[in-house]
Amino acid sequence: MQRFRAILVTRDEGAKQQNPAALVELGLDDLMEGDVVVAVSHSTVNYKDGLAVTGTGPVIRRFPMIPGIDFAGTVVSSASPEWTVGDAVVLNGWGVGETHMGGYAGLARVKGEWLVPKPAALSAAETMAIGTAGYTAMLCVLALEERGLTPAAGPVAVTGAAGGVGSVAVAVMAKRGYHVVASTGRAAEADYLKGLGAAEVIDRAELSGPAKPLAKERFAAAVDTVGSATLANVLSMIGRGGAVAACGNAGGMDLPSSVAPFILRGVSLLGIDSVMAPRARRLAAWDRLVVDLDRDKLAAMTTTIGLADVIATARQILAGHVRGRIVVDVAG
């Protein structure tokens, strides 16, 4: 039986807390059901992966579990009519790394319908430098532009800007000509964010206090990765007819806001679900990423680690010590 390395999370029967994640050796028979087997070359560390690996949040809902909510690799066996051996593929979401064994392993067995073709213009490593975070950022941009947003509308805010979603959102929107206002709690990252294209960098404290029902109109739109009071403040500052694409909850699951922005300024709150997005939406996002994400800026925001480094990096991302994107070289 073919053996491969994997990060595995377990929980003792009847226990409420998971055991510490460990780097182990597994075989194909240890994986879950699926009609396609992929040799995983790269994965990434997203905020959700940090929660899953450390057990800080209730992300994993089946044990034992291989975390890793996304991966890129090559099909090595397939019973799916969509895929043949040798196809280069990418997976984001679908509960992988949560309820179905994920990307922190040399092999993954999944449903063929969860996969999309790797964009020919991108390497496997680049697709994971983008990863679920970058793909989610592009879903936010698509939603805002479908709502009518253009660069002429005015400044656009990106919260949690130094994180994975935020970094890609800043880079993409700057390339498309938007005046991007990047919000971060890490003042030392100002030069990094300006290098990605941010026109302004503001302290997250400006958006983190108790929100007024309505504040001065400051932004035409926003991409919010934080939630809670930050999202409430951003909503109160959106101009008439503007919108916020919300995709994260790093600051909390609550929303201490009011109906005022919605009924007095016609603001729209656009929820972004990257996990279960339909295939056509995924393909549209990847097509746009190929065009709208500067490859040099992607490289500038990316750090590569080996599989053995995932557990330590998961702790660092939750502590706010990671910026940009982390690619996992699964063979490294």
Q: What is the pLDDT of residue 15?
A: 83
Q: What is the pLDDT of residue 16?
A: 84
Q: What is the pLDDT of residue 250?
A: 87
- The span from the CA of 116 to the CA of 132, in Å, is 13
Q: What is the pLDDT of residue 1?
A: 58
Strand pairing report for 70-78 and 325-329: unpaired
Q: What is the pLDDT of residue 137?
A: 97
**Domain locations in the chain as residue ranges:** 3-118+301-329, 130-271
- The span from the CA of 137 to the CA of 175, in Å, is 14
Strand pairing report for 302-306 and 219-224: unpaired
Q: What is the pLDDT of residue 192?
A: 95
**pLDDT tens-digit profile of 269-318?**
999 999 999 999 999 999 999 999 999 999 999 999 999 999 999 999 99
Question: Which residues of the chain register pLDDT less than 70?
Answer: 1
Q: What is the pLDDT of residue 8?
A: 98
Beta-carbon contacts of residue 132 (< 8 Å; ≥ 6 apart):
44, 46, 48, 69, 70, 92, 93, 274
- The span from the CA of 50 to the CA of 212, in Å, is 32
**How many residues are listed for the chain in this entry?**
332
Quick one: what percent of the chain has pLDDT higher than 90? 93
- The span from the CA of 294 to the CA of 135, in Å, is 14
Q: What is the pLDDT of residue 323?
A: 87
Q: Measured at the alpha carbon of residue 307, what is the angle toward residues 131 and 185, in degrees to the nearest 5?
A: 55
Q: Are 3-118+301-329 and 130-271 in the same CATH fold?
A: no
Q: Measured at the alpha carbon of residue 235, what is the angle toward residues 237 and 50, in degrees to the nearest 5?
A: 120
Fold of 130-271: Rossmann fold (3.40.50)
Q: Which CATH superfamily is domain 3-118+301-329 in?
A: Medium-chain alcohol dehydrogenases, catalytic domain (3.90.180.10)
| Number of CB atoms found within 10 A of residue 3's CB | 12
Decide if 163 contacts 45 (C-beta within 8 A): no
Q: What is the pLDDT of residue 274?
A: 93
